[in-house]
Amino acid sequence: MPVNRNALIRYKTIDACLRNKYRQWTLEDLIDACSDALYEYEGIDKGISRRTVQMDIQMMRSEKLGYNAPIVVYDNRYYRYEDEDYSITNTPLSEQDLKTMSEAVEVLRQFKGFSGFSDMGDIVSRLEDHVTSAKQKTVPVIDFEKNESLKGLDYLDTIYHAIINKQVLSLQYRSFKARSASTFCLHPYLLKEYRNRWFVFGNRKGSLVNLALDRIHHIEIAEKEGFIENNLFDPQTFFDDLVGVTKNMGMKAETVRFWADRQSAPYIMTKPIHKSQKLIETKGDGSMVFEIHVVINQELQREFFGFVDSIEILAPESLADFMRWKYGLAKERYGAVR
């Protein structure tokens, strides 16, 4: 049975309310929560009727969507789940769900060869593998990198809709260097994933900042703050000269030249450090010299540290000096008698 987006938002909202065991939920409370959710996610401010939420509860209780939600009324007034561990998000996929997902995967596969859909290959492969394993009850044969314990992932949806709806966020944030968390407003423009960690780019007091979601302690919409449009950076080109996500104002790309020994050279050749990478020279011993045009940031430095003794920075001298200094510190640490 097809379900529209607004209905799904209401179902998820009711589910979230009923999973909260520390509050009693009347029908009026559920109506208010659903109205708030529809306004937050869809900008719908006309509210919803009592009958709509009553029908939503009946639909969640039924088998039509496969939920069979154990929603009960107690004291003739309050709603809750009879099974405290129940959630509609834990409902297994039905045969119809699997059929629909299989059809969706087949449609998406048709677009994988088009340039505008080049980034969808990974998503389609994930869906295809999940659907196949669910249908055959087998172990997935593709294992994608993931970090399910990473903090901050529950803020993704809030930040995404704030960007879409041009809303200001009030954040409680603590960087790794700070002793305590601070609260401030952010005008969010872009969500970015790097090495399985999420960042949000936005305007804080007129400056472009990027914040790691796993350092956010609390987040909410700052309803009274006016949104400032993005005039600080172009998300389409901002990362062209970057390895990672760090690029402070005024940082310019430089040409980095480095030598790689014959063991690491083939690896770097097939898995470039940056898309601008060029092979400059192949030595007689199989070693190679490469160039990349990038902003020199901490992510690039850490990329080079991963090769330890198998590469040498040839230019610029400032980066070579930094690497020598860091390797000297490492030598002192490992050379110390314990």
User: The sheet that has 216-221: what strands, in order across it?
Assistant: 207-212, 197-204, 182-194, 169-173, 216-221
Residue 162 belongs to domain with CATH number: 2.30.30
pLDDT in tens, 175-190: 887 788 899 999 999 9
| Residue 147 φ/ψ region, left for φ over 0, alpha for ψ in the -120 to 50 degree band, beta for the rest | beta
Q: How many domains does the chain have?
A: 4
In a shared domain, residues 59 and 17: yes
In a shared domain, residues 269 and 316: yes
pLDDT in tens, 73-121: 999 999 999 998 899 887 666 666 667 777 777 666 666 555 555 566 6
Residue 143 domain-assigned?
A: no
Residue 227 domain-assigned?
A: no
In a shared domain, residues 108 and 78: no
What's this model's pTM, rounded to 2 decimal places?
A: 0.61
- Residue 297 pLDDT more than 90? yes
Share of the chain above pLDDT 70, in %: 82
Q: Provide the pLDDT for residue 25.
A: 94
Residue 142 domain-assigned?
A: no
Lowest mean pLDDT among 40-44, 75-79, 282-286: 40-44
In a shared domain, residues 75 and 110: no
CA gap 173, 9 in Å, rounded: 28
In a shared domain, residues 38 and 109: no
Residue 228 domain-assigned?
A: no
Beta strands at 197-204 and 207-212: parallel, antiparallel or unpaired: antiparallel
Q: Provide the pLDDT for residue 123.
A: 64
- The two structure tokens encoding residue 320: 């070579």
In a shared domain, residues 82 and 129: no
Q: Is 196 exposed, middle or buried (0-12, 13-18, 19+ CB in 10 A)?
A: exposed
Q: 95-109 and 121-136 are packed helices; what angle lies between their axes, rounded to 10 degrees?
A: 150
CA gap 186, 183 in Å, rounded: 10
Q: Provide the pLDDT for residue 176.
A: 80
In a shared domain, residues 271 and 303: yes
Q: Provide the pLDDT for residue 96.
A: 67
Q: Report DSSP state, residue 84.
A: T
For CA atoms 203, 209, 206, 220, the dihedral sign is: positive
Residue 239 domain-assigned?
A: no
Query: In angstroms, how far is CA 185 from the centroid of its own chain?
Result: 20
Quick count: other Cβ atoms within 10 Å of Cβ 181?
A: 14
Mean pLDDT of 262-280: 95
- The two structure tokens encoding residue 163: 């960007």
CA gap 11, 336 in Å, rounded: 61
In a shared domain, residues 58 and 100: no
Q: Which one of 71, 90, 109 terminates a domain?
A: 90
Q: Which one of 90, 107, 125 terminates a domain?
A: 90
Mean pLDDT (the chain, rounded): 86
Structural Rg of the chain based on CA atoms: 26
Residue 304 belongs to domain with CATH number: 3.30.70
Name the nearest CA neighbour of 316 among 226, 241, 256, 247.
Answer: 256
In a shared domain, residues 49 and 77: yes
Domain hosting residue 184, numbered range: 153-221
Residue 226 domain-assigned?
A: no
Q: Provide the pLDDT for residue 18.
A: 94
Residue 313 domain-assigned?
A: yes
pLDDT in tens, 108-164: 666 655 555 556 666 666 666 666 666 666 666 666 666 666 777 778 888 988 999
Residue 35 belongs to domain with CATH number: 1.10.10
Q: 27-42 and 50-61 are packed helices; what angle lies between their axes, rounded to 10 degrees?
A: 100
**For the chain, counts of helices (H) and of strands (E):** 9, 11
Beta strands at 288-294 and 169-173: parallel, antiparallel or unpaired: unpaired
Give the type of residue at 195: R
In a shared domain, residues 181 and 119: no
CA gap 25, 14 in Å, rounded: 10
Residue 81 domain-assigned?
A: yes
In a shared domain, residues 290 and 328: yes
In a shared domain, residues 267 and 329: yes
- Residue that is written with structure tokens 């920075």 in the block: 313
Q: Which one of 198, 221, 244 terminates a domain?
A: 221
